[in-house]
Amino acid sequence: MFWKPKTKTEKAVEAEKLWIQKEKVYLDEPTSFNCPDKSHPLFTIHVTVDRPIAVCYYCSKTWVLNNGNSRT
């Protein structure tokens, strides 16, 4: 069987499935803090109005600024 490139629709469906699987924490206001997961090196999370989604580099835990426009 040969490899074939994914269509835009297939990519969008795959991205949505991955988004649903992620561990997400919703925040009510912009903030900065260290990732609370102690199983990896220190990593600072910055959630701002300009960047409403932040992901830890090590554990992929995701923080979302909950301003009513976020995906659930």
**What's the confidence (pLDDT) of residue 71?**
52
Show Cβ contacts of residue 27 under 8 Å, excluding neighbours closer than 6 positions. Answer: 47, 63, 64, 65, 66
**What's the confidence (pLDDT) of residue 69?**
56
State the average pLDDT over residues 42-60. 94
Q: Domains (ranges, CATH) in the chain?
A: 23-72 (2.60.260)
Other residues' Cβ atoms within 10 Å of the Cβ of residue 55: 16
pLDDT digits (tens, 9 = 90+) for 2-50: 888 999 999 999 999 999 998 999 999 999 999 999 999 999 999 999 9
